[in-house]
Amino acid sequence: MKFWKMEGLGNDFVVVVGSYSFTTGEIAALCDRRKGVGADGVLVVSGGRDRVGMSYFNADGSEAEMCGNGLRCVARLAVDLGMTDRPEFSVDTPVGPRRVIVSLSEVTAELGPVTVGEQRRIGERDFHLVSVGNPHAVSWVDDLDGIRLAATGQALQDMFSEGINVEMARVDSPRRVSMRVWERGVGETSACGTGAVAAAAAGLAQGLTREKVDVRLVGGTAQVTLEGNTSWITGPARLVYRGEWPG
């Protein structure tokens, strides 16, 4: 099986093109960083000329509704493979079609509507529940280095039936946010596109940030734009290498 290893802001993926169906164990094996290719998840790309679709699976084999950095990587690969000859097109995702714009140095992807829900006190922290097609819990902190992100992220999984992505974020200015993220089914990752949008939306809803904000992640900085009833994220997406998985 041919695959492409891709990354966006350090969020890395095993990408396959075609009508593939994987078991949970097969996905976990691909994503294993010691015995497999190693990745945060697996992207399955489908479609033909000017018709691109994607499905995303976390490293533990669970399927996710959306992956922002994964969407940007799919867009880059679709252009590189000639699945489309247009720099702007739509990708079919489990939450509906999403527009993408591919340039030489970066990819912009539409992540759709964002819903900022209730604020909930969990333990010693306040979390803002946000949906970007997938669920997020955003908490504002002063010290990103001192937080116990893994323990907090794991603890929150038992409180939500479908699990939840957890963002610890700090407002540096109205146009800049710094963030660490714990992704359900994966653990702490270098970046999360939908998580960046969730943090930006929570900040905007509270009057802490503007409609356009840079979100600094462990793996780099993404630009988030919130406009009308949709959201966009811009950042790098690149091919790391090609390979073939036996079996």
Catalytic residue among 171, 192, 217, 237: 192
State which amino acid sits at residue 74.
V
Report how far apart, in Å, the C-alpha atoms of 85 and of each of 11, 17, 47, 91, 100 are. Answer: 26, 17, 14, 14, 13
Q: From its phi and psi, is residue 37 left (phi > 0), alpha (psi between -120 and 50) or beta?
A: alpha
Q: Cα–Cα distance between 93 and 109 in angstroms, integer?
A: 12
Q: Which residue has the tokens 């033909």?
A: 48
Quick check: helix, strand or coil at residue 167? strand
Is 31 one of the catalytic residues? no
Is 73 one of the catalytic residues? no
Q: Cα–Cα distance between 159 and 173 in angstroms, integer?
A: 32
Select from 183, 190, 140 the least CA-distant residue to 165: 183
Structure tokens at 165: 């992505």
Cβ distance 216 to 178 under 8 Å? yes
Catalytic residue among 28, 37, 39, 67: 67
| Active-site residue list | 67, 192
